[in-house]
Amino acid sequence: MLRGPCRLFRVSVAPVAALAVALVSSLSRCSLLEPENRVVSPLSPYFGTKTRYEDANPGLLPDPEAPRRDPQLLEETCTPVQLVALIRHGTRYPTTKQIRKLRQLHGLLQARGPGDDRIRAAGGGDLGAVLANWPLWYADWMDGQLVEKGRQDMRQLALRLASLFPVLFSRENCGRLQLVTSSKHRCMDSGAAFLQGLWQHYHPGLPPPDVADMECGPPRINDKLMRFFDHCEKFLTQVERNATALYHVEAFKTGPEMQNILKKVAGILQVPVNNLNADLIQVAFFTCSFDLAIKGVKSPWCDVFDIDDAKVLEYLNDLKQYWKRGYGYTINSQSSCTLFQDIFQHLDKAVEQKQSPECLIQGR
C-alpha cells in the first residue's frame, strides 16, 4: 500500500528521445538468508504490506542487486529522460501500538492458571505454552523504525535502478539527483540508505560518508507532498477523526468470520475467548510476518493460523485500507491530488523541454 512518497531524485543528460517512465514500487525486501536456506510460511501471501518483498517478487532471490529489465519497457532507440517512482520504506519494526498489543496477548498466555494443564493435556500439544515461553524481543523504542534489513532493501534498490538506468544515474548527473522524504524516521532512514546504495555504485569498496557530505546531497523533508493526507483538512474531518468512518471495519470485526477465528484461537491458546478481540488476533497474525521479515524466523505465531484464517485477516486489513485510504470515500483519492499533480508536472516538463533526464523518485 502506498500512502505517500518519501524521496526525490533528479538527474540530467542530453536525451535523444523524450521518454517518461513511471514506476510505482513497493521496494524489494531482500532476505539476509541464502535462497536455499530461506524460512518460509504459507501465510506469507496474505500479509499485505507486511509481506516480505522477496516473497512478493521471488525474482530478487538469486541476486537482489541485479536489475531485471522488461524487454518492452525501453526500446534500444529510446533514452529515458525522467524516472518517477513512488516507493515505500524498507522493512521496519512493529509500531509501539502493535508491540503493546502483542505484550498484552503474551501476558494472557503467561497468566494461564495451572488448572488449565488438564485441558491442554487432553488436547495434545500446547502451542499456548510454547508461545508463553517464546522470547518477546520487541520493545517500545522500536516504534516502526527501519531495521538493518530495511536499509539493505534500499541500498539494493538503488543499485538495481542505477544499473537499469545507467544514464540517469551516472556519476556526472549525481548533482541533479534530488531526494524528498516525509518526516517519518523510517522514511528518512530509507532515503539515507538509498543514497548509500548510490555511493556504493559510484565508489565500489569505499565506505560511504555521512549523508550530508555525499555528492548527491541529503534527502529533503516535505510532508505536505509526501504525507498529503495529514494536510488535507477535509480528509482529517471526514475520515481520520470521524468515529463512524470505519463502521464497516468494526462490523466485520464482530461478524461471524472473525468470531470463528477468535473461538478457534482461544481454543488453541487455551485462553478465555472473552479476553481476545480482533485487534489482538490481527497483531498475532502480523507477528508471524515481522519475525519472518526481520529475523528470517518462522515463529510459533505462524502455527496458530491456517490459510482460511489468513484470508479472513487479509480481508480485514484490506477492508480498513479501502475505507481509510482507498475507494471508500471520495476524499481519500482527492487528498492525493497534490502529489499526482507534482509527479505529472515533472513528467510534462521533461517531455516539453527534452533537455535533461530527471529522475524523480518518491516513496514513503
* Residue among 89, 106, 201, 346 flagged as catalytic: 89
Strand order, beta sheet including 358-363: 19-25, 80-87, 358-363, 178-181, 220-221
Which helix (DSSP H) or strand (DSSP E) does residue 363 occupy? strand 358-363
Give residue for cell 539476509: 32
State whether residue 190 is helix, strand or coil: helix
All cell numbers assigned to 100: 503493546
The answer to whether 89 is a known catalytic residue is: yes
In sequence order, the β-bridge partners of residue 85 are 23, 361
CA atoms of 285 and 83, how far apart (whole Å) = 36
Residue 73 C-beta-side C-alpha neighbours within 13 Å: 12
CA atoms of 115 and 171, how far apart (whole Å) = 69
Q: Are 354 and 18 in contact (CB under 8 A)?
A: yes
CA atoms of 168 and 80, how far apart (whole Å) = 7
Distances (CA, A) of 144 to 150, 154, 332: 11, 16, 24
All cell numbers assigned to 139: 520493545
> Exposed/middle/buried for 233, CB within 10 Å: 0-12, 13-18, 19+?
exposed
Catalytic site residues?
89
